[in-house]
Amino acid sequence: MNPSPAFGVLLVNLGTPDEPSPKAVKRFLRQFLSDPRVVDLSPWIWKPLLNGIILNTRPAKVAKLYQSVWTSEGSPLMVISERQAQKLTVDLSATFNQTIPVELGMSYGNPSIDTGFERLKAQGAERIIVLPLYPQYSCSTVASVFDAVASYLKTVRDIPLIRFNKDYFDHSAYIAALAHSVTRHWKTHGQADKLLLSFHGIPQRYVKEGDPYREQCFTTAKLLAQKLALHESQWQVCFQSRFGREQWLTPYADQLLAELPAQGVKSVDVICPAFATDCLETLEEISIGAKETFLAAGGSDYRFIPCLNDDELHIELLRQLIQEQALSWV
């Protein structure tokens, strides 16, 4: 009988539809947009709007967007996440001189967070480190993961010992990995007039109610700019993926990109530091849609810098985060 591992790791990301079809997208959006951490409007207002309008009109449009980035292997987010888990397993096992199981759990879609826990349990893991792949904390992402973990624990008699990583927006290994990604891009493509750091947006109201996300995004941006020795005129923060009519964090990425050419900025490099893995929001919204906006406004050169994905320095960052959490367990 194999000895139980010292601990197991649950890597958590947002998730993806099972396939790029309207039916699968509708199933995914229903789960995603029903999370009160994501949309905290009164159910009496939100549910009729969600079920009566959004889920009957949006899935077909979103499915077409997924089809534009889907690969022969499947959803980019899922394919890359699986590579991250595989590489991290190798690195952790070498670090701790034993097999450390790593499983995926998605907040929405498959495999679920419950499934990830059950797979770790089947491998004998009685201590589990939960690592949400969101560098900056937000109630709409990290807290949602925590809620799902708590919901799972309510269903089991003998709960595992849990350690939960809240954020890593200013971790030195994270900033180093981002800087390496940018400098590697510059060596190949040259440096643009401006580096845009596009973070996923959240409603402005969340920040007023205590969410630290905006502050953490700007801290990440400033640390990266310092690491790259950039003047303040050479970089700028913006926010993407707004939804609904409520005021979200500004400046909005699409509006900024439409304005920059008139300000004399003809070339931009765009990186999305809030995303650990390339997905629809980076591969379609930023790499394709935002590029069209910038060029149509008079820009001449638009270059997207991929997410950290399964890059060696990114896996090293994740290994360090887990090793820090695992102190006293091994």
Distance CA 23, CA 325 (A): 40
Q: What is the chain's mean pLDDT, rounded? A: 97
Distance CA 261, CA 282 (A): 21
**Backbone angles phi and psi of 57, in degrees to 5:** -120, -35
Give the pLDDT score at 4.
Answer: 87
The answer to whether 236 touches 276, Cβ cutoff 8 Å, is no
Give the pLDDT score at 192.
Answer: 98
Known binding-site residue numbers for Fe(2+): 200, 281
* Position 2 confidence tier, pLDDT thresholds 50, 70, 90: low
Domain ranges of the chain: 18-69, 172-305
- pLDDT per residue as tens digits for the range 129-173: 999 999 999 999 999 999 999 999 999 999 999 999 999 999 999
- pLDDT per residue as tens digits for the range 175-193: 999 999 999 999 999 999 9
The answer to whether 24 touches 117, Cβ cutoff 8 Å, is no
Q: Give the CATH number of domain 172-305.
A: 3.40.50.1400
Known binding-site residue numbers: 200, 281
The answer to whether 288 touches 236, Cβ cutoff 8 Å, is no
The answer to whether 15 touches 28, Cβ cutoff 8 Å, is yes
CB atoms inside a 10 Å sphere around CB 151: 11
The answer to whether 322 touches 84, Cβ cutoff 8 Å, is no
Say what the pTM is: 0.96
Burial label, 123 (beta-carbon count in 10 A; 0-12, 13-18, 19+): middle
Q: Which of 10-19, 105-114, 240-249, 282-291 has the lowest mean pLDDT?
A: 240-249
